[in-house]
A = this chain, B = another copy of it.
Amino acid sequence: MKTSERILESAAALLDAGGTSAVTLRAVGQVSGVSHNAPYKHFVNRDSLLAALATQEFQKLAAAFFAFGQEKVQPLTKLKRALQAFSQYGRDYPGRYQLLFSDPDIAKHEGALSQAAMASFSAFALLVAECQKAGALPAVPTPALAGLLYASVHGLIDLEASGRMKTEKGFMSVTEGIALLLKVLAPEKNEVLQ
């Protein structure tokens, strides 16, 4: 395994274990079995290392969305599975999820990272478009509908993780939120919601 791959792997592990502040070049070096500035031989600096990691993760996400599109099931089932996998990713890899979707420094990057992020959203939008064609989602502009779904699920994941939706009376889970959203979005409510 190449050193650069080991460095990315170490960074991902540290990120999920202790958040972005735990990803110090010294810790990355130690976990990877190299010195604290060996990473500079593979990435221009710490920020660039994190950007490379984010790019890789966005590519995985796009591939996962694409794979759901290939399954031989109803379009709405594909979309539900994709949404489920999306929220599961946020739960399993909170550090990486935060890096991809809520890190302002990472968000500034153009080029490969931005391209990979766009590709992820485009792959997701394809699933939405397919549902619309099948009449399972309303015939509004696809980018708007896909954006709303993407944003809502992200918001649910983010707020669930931060506990910002708790009240005295109750709170909301990501799964419930997605179910409610799909329910209100269904053109024929009684048919789609079992």
| Chain A interface residues (CB < 8 Å from chain B) | 19, 21, 94, 98, 100-105, 107, 114, 117-118, 121-122, 125, 138, 140-145, 147-148, 150-156, 158-159, 161-172, 176-177, 180-181, 184-185
Provided the pairs A102-B98, A143-B170 are in contact, do residues A152 and B152 lie with their beta carbons within 8 angstroms?
A: yes
**Chain B nearest CB: distance from A139 CB in Å?**
12
Taking a contact as CB atoms closer than 8 A, the residue among B21, B153, B172, B180 that contacts A155 in the complex is B153
Residue of B nearest to A187 (CB): B184
The complex places the Cα of A100 from the Cα of B102 at a distance, in Å, of 12
Contact of A151 among B105, B145, B155, B169 (CB under 8 A): B155
Cβ contact of A165, chosen from B121, B156, B184, cutoff 8 A:
B121
Q: How far is the CA of A141 from the CA of B167 in the complex (A)?
A: 13
| Contact residue among B19, B122, B145, B161 (Cβ-Cβ distance under 8 Å from A168) | B122
Partner of A161, one of B104, B150, B181: B104
A153 to B148, CA, bound (A): 9
27 CB contacts below 8 A, A to B, read A100-B164, A101-B158, A101-B159, A103-B162, A104-B162, A107-B161, A114-B163, A114-B166, A117-B163, A118-B166, A118-B168, A121-B166, A122-B167, A143-B167, A144-B176, A147-B159, A147-B172, A147-B176, A148-B172, A148-B177, A148-B181, A152-B152, A152-B155, A152-B181, A153-B155, A154-B158, A184-B185
